[in-house]
Chain A
Amino acid sequence: MNSMHRNRFFGGNVDWFTVLLWFLLCIIGWFNIHAAVFDPQHPGLFSLETNYGKQSIYIFSAMLIAIVILIVDAKFYSSFSPILYAITILLLIAVLIIGRNVGGNQAWIPIGSFRLQPSEFAKLATCLLLARYLSAHSTKTPNLKTLIGGITVVALPVALVLLQPDTGSALAFFALVFVFYREGYISGPWMLFGALAIMLFVLTLAFNQWIVIAGVAMTVGLGIYYFRKKRKIITSLAAIFAIAAVYVLCVEFVYENVLQSHQRNRIDVILGKIDDPRGEGYNLNQSMIAIGSGQFWGKGYLQGTQTKYNFVPEQSTDFIFCTVGEEWGFVGSMVVIGIYLTLLLRIVNIAERQRTAFARIYAYGVASILFFHFAINIGMTIGIVPIIGIPLPFISYGGSSLWSFTILLFIMLKFDANRKGIV
C-alpha cells in the first residue's frame, strides 16, 4: 500500500455519508446506554467500570477497526472469506463445548474479561462467503443448483447457532433471502408465497387452526367463483388450498410439539393469547409503557423513570430502544428510524453501484442483516413481533455486536471506496 493509494482513500472515494450515519448511531447508542444504566442515587463521574464507559472503549476501538478495514487491501476479504468462514464455523462449534451459558444460551466464549460471541461474527463470514460463492456463478443464469449451494453456505452456521440454542441470531440469517431474491434465485411470486406462509403461520397461532383453514377455503372459494370459466386457475387454486391446509396443520403441530415453552409463551404474548403483565408479558408491557410514556417530546435525557428505575429488563442491550422512546419521545424515535432507513436505502444504492457481483451481493447481505435487526429489535419493543433477543445494530451495548456490525459495514465501504479498482 503506497501513499498515493492512501491519499485517494481519504480523498473522497469513501462514502462519508454512510460513515456519518454509522457514527451518529454509535453516539446515540452511547447516550442511551448512559441513560439506561444511569443510577440517580450514584450519578458519579465517567467510569470505565460502567457499561457506558466500556461502550466508549468499544466505540473507540470500532473506529480503529474501521480504519484498519479501510486500509487493508480489498482483495483480502474475498480471498480469505473461505478461511474466515471456516474459522467462524470452528468457533461456533467451540462455543458449544467451552462456551459460557448466559441466559440459557451457550453463546459466549470468555476471553479474559471480554466475552466473544461467535454468532455475531458468523453473519459477517457467511455474507462474505455467500457473496463469493454466488458471484462465482453470477455469469450463469440463476439455477437451482447454485441456490442450493448458497443455502448450504447459510444453513451450516444457522444449524450451529440453533444448537446453542440462540433462535434470535439464527433467524437473522433468514434475512439473506433478500440477497437470493435480488440475484434472481427466488422469484417475486415465491417471495409473496413466503410472505403468505408467514402470515398463515401467525394466523394459525393466533386463532384456531380450523378457523384459519376455513378462512383459506372461503378465499379460495371466492377465487374459484371469480375464475369459474378458467379450469386451469381453478385447479391451481384447489392445489393452493390443499397445500395451505396441510401447512396450517403442520404449523400447529410444530408449535405444540417442537417449540420450547418459553418460545411459545413469547409468541402467545405478542398474539394477545396470554395477558399476563407480571409474568411472561412483563418485559413487553414495561417496554411499551416506557416507549408510550415518552409521548411527543420525550421525558428528557436521564429523566425516563422506566429506564432510570430499571423497570425494563435488558435496557442497555436488547431493549435499548425503550430508552430512546421514553427519553426522546416520538421525535427521537423518528430520528433513529429515519437514520436507519436512510442507512438501509443508502446501502442498497451503494450495492447497485458496485461493478463486481461480489461487492454487490455482499452489500445486499449487509443491508439484509441490518434490516432484520432493525425491524425485529424495534418491532419487539413495541409489541409487533415476538421478543427475540437480538441487538439493535450500533446502538445496543456490547463489544461483539458493535464490532461485528462495524466490520460488516466497513468492509462494504472498503469495496465501495475501491469500486473503480479491481477486486
Chain B
Amino acid sequence: MNAFFERKYIIQGIFIVVAVIIATRLFYLQLIDESYLLSANNNVLRKMVIYPARGVILDRNGQVLVQNEPVYDLLVTPREVRDLDTALLCELVGIDHEGFLKRMKTARDYSPYKASPFEKQIPAAAYATLQEHLYKFRGFYVQNRTVRSYPDSIAAQFLGYIQEVNDRDIERSNGFYRPGDYIGASGVERAYEELLRGQRGVKNVMVDAFNRPQGSFADGKYDTLAVAGDGLVSSLDKDLQILAEKLMRNKIGSVVAIEPATGEILTFVSSPSYDPNMMVGRERGNNYMKLLYDPYKPMFIRPIQAQYPPGSVFKVVSALTAQQAGVIEASTVFNCPGGYRYGGGRAIMRCTHVDGSIPLVTAIQRSCNTYFGYTYARMIDHRNLPSPESYTLWREATMKFGIGQPLGIDLPGEQDGLLPTADYYTKRYGNARWGSGYNISLSIGQGEMGITPLQMANIMAIVANRGFYYRPHLIKAIGEKKIVKPEFTEKISAGVDAKYYEPVVEGLSRAVNVPGGTGYSVRIADIEMCGKTGTAQNPHGADHAVFFAFAPRDNPKIAIAVVVENAGYGGVWAGPIASMLVEQYLKDTITLPKYIQDRIYNADLLPKQDPQKPAESVKAAPKRPTEPRKDPEEESIFVHHSMIASRYE
C-alpha cells in the first residue's frame, strides 16, 4: 500500500462510468429506438411476387389448347454487382457486350439499389446452365414465371395473346397490374382476362448481404399464396380445328362452325393464321412486328372482323322474313325470264338462269335473283306504308337474324356488319320517295350490306334450329365448377315462326342433294346436309367463294360458313372445305374423292399480284354509310388490339 492507494477508487469509478455510458447507449439502441428493428427487417426481407399460373384453356373434349411453361427472368441490382465475369454472363444469357452495357444502364437508370429485369424469359434449358454459374454473378438473381405454350400451334386468333402491361393498363386497373405483369391483349386471353389471370401471391424471403435468398421469413406467416387463374373449357373441337386450319392453309378467309343447339363455336379459323407460340418468348417483339407488317394480315380476326356482302345466304333470310311479313307464301310463284326488271323496266338485275315460273323452294335451291327481287319489292313497295317505314320494318326483321349488329361473341373486336338505315337512303336520295328499285341489290345480299363469317354461320344455325339461336360463344364453361355464362344460355328468337322454315330448309337440302344443285358435288353420303354455295362480290378483285350449310337436316349438329377470299365460285373451293369438315365432325371420316381433297390441301390462293394491299380486297363495302364514324382510322378493317381496347371501354 502506498500514498496513492485512494486513486484505486478514481480508476474503478472511471471503469464504472464508462460501463454505465455503454449500458445507457445500449438501452437506447435496443429498447427505445425501434427503427433498428425495422432496418434489420428491411435488410433481410424481400417481398417476392409469386406469379399465379394463368388459367389453362381446354377444348370441348378436354384436350389442351393453351398451357403454361416455366421461364426465368434474370434480375439485377446494379449496386450489388461486384467482380462480374461479364464475358461469361454474356455468353450464358446470349447477348453481346454492347447489349450488356445497355441492359446495365437501363437497370441503373431504374434504380441502383432495386432489382429490375436484366433479361426476360430465359427458357428452361438456358436457365439450367445459367443457374450453375449464378453464384458467380453477385447482384444477379432469377425470378421464375410461366409463359403460355400452345402444344398444337392452332387457333391463334381465337386464343389471342398476352403481353406486358403498358402504362394505360396499369392506370386503368387502379394499380392491380404492376410493370412487368402480363395482360391478355386479344382473343379469349383478353375477353377472359379477369378469370384467367388469377391472383398474385407474396412470399417474404430473407436474403443475405449479397441479396441471395436464404429462406422464408417467420416461417411464411406473412406469405400469401398465389391463386391460379380459372381454367376455361372452350367450345372448340381441337381435331376439327386442326383439320380446318389445314384445309385453309395458303388461303385467305374464314371457317366458322357452330353447334346450333347451344351456340358453341366448334371451329374458328382465320386464315392466314400464325403459330401462337410466336407471341411468346424472347423473339416475341420481332415476331409481333413481322405479323403486324405481314401483307396478308394474320392478326386480323377475319371471322368477326372481315365483312362481305352476304350474297346467297341473304336470300334465306329474305325468304323467311317475307313469309313472316305475309308478303309471300311457300306457294308464291314468280316468273323469272333471266332477270328482274325494275325502275320502270329501265334496269335489270340479272339472274344466272332462265327458270320461268318458280316457287319459293326452287328459288332457294337455284338461288334465283329474280324471285328475291320481287320479294324485296313486295316488302318495300307493297305494304301500304311509305317506303322508308316499310324499309325500317324490313331492316328490323333482318337484324333479328343477327345482321348489322354484333352478335355478342366472347371475343373483343367483333364488327357489326353493315345494314344501312332508312334515313341513310332518304338523305342519299334527298327525299323519302325512294322505293325498292333504289337499293334492289339488297334483295340478293349485295351492295350496301356487310356480314361477317360468324354472322353467316349464325344464320345457318337459326335455320337449323328453325327460328332461334344461342349467342355464339367460344368458352362453354369457366373454372372448376364449369360455370356457364348466363348470356350464353338465353334462347334468342329470330322473329320468324318455325313453320316458315320448311320450304327454305327443303330448298337448301335440294341445293346439295339433288343432281344439278350448286352443292351436289360436295354432298355427303348418308347425311342430309342443307347448304348452298355463294359468291360474295368483291369490287377489288376476284369474288370470294362462300359455302354455308347445316347438317343433318333433322336435329342438326353443325352449322358452318366457309369463306375463301378471291377464290371465285363458291362450289369449287368453299364447298369441299365445308363438306369435309361436316363429315369429319359427324362421321369422323371423309368420303370426298381424294383428288378433290388434294386439290384443296395443295391449293395456294394467296393473291400474288398485289400482296401490298390485300386488305383492300376484303373490304366489306366501298363506303360505310351507316352511323357516320368520327375516326377515319375506323375505316380500316384491320383492327389493332389497342384499338379494340379503346372500343371496349
Contacts and interface: CB of A to CB of B under 8 A. Distances in A.
On whether the two chains bind one another, the answer is yes
Interface of A: 40-41, 138, 178, 181-184, 188, 278, 285-286, 288-296, 305-306, 308-311, 325-326, 329-330, 333-334, 337, 340-341, 344-345, 348, 351-352, 357, 364, 367, 371, 375, 378-379, 382-384
A352 B9 CA distance: 11
Contacts of A308: 208, 214
Nearest to A291: B29
A379 B22 contact: yes
Given A288-B36, A292-B35, A325-B26, 9 more contacts: A40-B214, A178-B14, A184-B2, A289-B43, A291-B26, A293-B37, A311-B208, A337-B22, A382-B26
A330 B24 CA distance: 10
Nearest to A185: B4
A181 B30 contact: no
18 contacts: A184-B2, A188-B10, A286-B43, A291-B36, A292-B33, A308-B208, A325-B26, A325-B29, A334-B26, A337-B19, A341-B19, A344-B12, A348-B11, A352-B5, A352-B8, A367-B15, A375-B18, A379-B22
Contact of B4 (A184, A285, A286): A184
Interface residues of B, number: 41
A149 B14 CA distance: 26
A330 B5 CA distance: 35
A333 B7 contact: no
A180 to B, nearest CB: 11
Interface in B34-48: 35-37, 39-41, 43-44
Which of A188, A290, A309, A348: most chain B Cβ within 10 A?
A: A309
B206 interface: yes
A182 B43 contact: no
B25 interface: yes
B43 A305 contact: yes
A371 B15 contact: yes
A289 B40 contact: yes
Contact of A382 (B7, B14, B25): B25
Nearest to A309: B208
Interface in B174-213: 206-210
A306 B43 contact: yes
B21 interface: yes
Which of B43, B79, B206, B207: most chain A Cβ within 10 A?
A: B43
B90 interface: no
The 10 closest A-B CB pairs, nearest first, are A292-B36, A293-B40, A309-B208, A292-B29, A330-B30, A305-B44, A293-B37, A341-B19, A310-B209, A289-B39
B643 interface: no
B2 A138 contact: yes
B1 A309 contact: no
A345 B12 contact: yes
Contacts of B4: 182-184
A255 B16 CA distance: 31
B29 A382 contact: yes
A292 B22 contact: no
B31 A295 contact: yes
A378 B40 contact: no
A147 B208 CA distance: 52
B11 A330 contact: no
A182 B8 contact: yes
Given A184-B3, A309-B209, A325 B30 contact: yes
B27 interface: yes
B81 interface: no
A235 B16 CA distance: 36
A311 B209 contact: yes
Contacts of B15: 341, 344-345, 348, 367, 371
B23 interface: yes
B71 to A, nearest CB: 26
B364 to A, nearest CB: 79
B16 A292 contact: no
A352 B2 contact: no
A72 to B, nearest CB: 28
Contacts of A138: 2
Contacts of B99: none
B622 interface: no
A40 B210 CA distance: 15
Which of B8, B10, B26, B209: most chain A Cβ within 10 A?
A: B26
Contact of B11 (A178, A309, A334): A178
B515 interface: no
Contacts of A289: 36, 39-40, 43
Nearest to A344: B15
Given A378-B22, A384-B21, A292 B30 contact: yes
B495 to A, nearest CB: 73
A15 B14 CA distance: 24
Main secondary structure of the interface of A (DSSP, over half): helix
B211 to A, nearest CB: 10
Contact of A305 (B1, B40, B79): B40
B30 A295 contact: yes
B215 interface: yes
Which of B21, B23, B210: most chain A Cβ within 10 A?
A: B23
Nearest to A333: B26
A382 B41 CA distance: 19
B397 to A, nearest CB: 75
A19 to B, nearest CB: 20
A39 B12 CA distance: 41
Given A291-B30, A293-B36, A382-B29, A352 B1 contact: yes
B12 A305 contact: no
A296 B31 contact: yes
A309 B206 contact: yes
A330 B40 CA distance: 16
A352 B18 CA distance: 21
B208 A310 contact: yes
A293 B37 CA distance: 4
Nearest to B43: A311
Contacts of A181: 7, 10-11
A309 B26 contact: no
A375 B29 contact: no
Contacts of A311: 43-44, 208-209
Contacts of A337: 19, 22-23, 26
Contacts of B210: 310
A285 B209 CA distance: 13
Nearest to B206: A305
A182 B29 CA distance: 34
B11 A40 contact: no
A375 B11 CA distance: 14
A333 B30 contact: yes
A118 to B, nearest CB: 28
Contacts of A294: 30
A248 B590 CA distance: 105
Nearest to A286: B43
A326 B41 CA distance: 12
Contact of A334 (B16, B23, B35): B23
Nearest to B11: A178
A164 B1 CA distance: 40
A172 to B, nearest CB: 15
B37 A384 contact: no
A298 to B, nearest CB: 9
A384 B26 CA distance: 11
Contacts of A341: 15-16, 19
A181 B207 CA distance: 51
Interface in B349-407: none
A296 B30 contact: yes
A327 to B, nearest CB: 12
A360 to B, nearest CB: 9
A361 B138 CA distance: 53
Which of B1, B18, B25: most chain A Cβ within 10 A?
A: B18
Nearest to A41: B214
Nearest to B36: A292
Contacts of A286: 43
Contact of A288 (B2, B16, B29): B29
Contacts of A296: 30-31
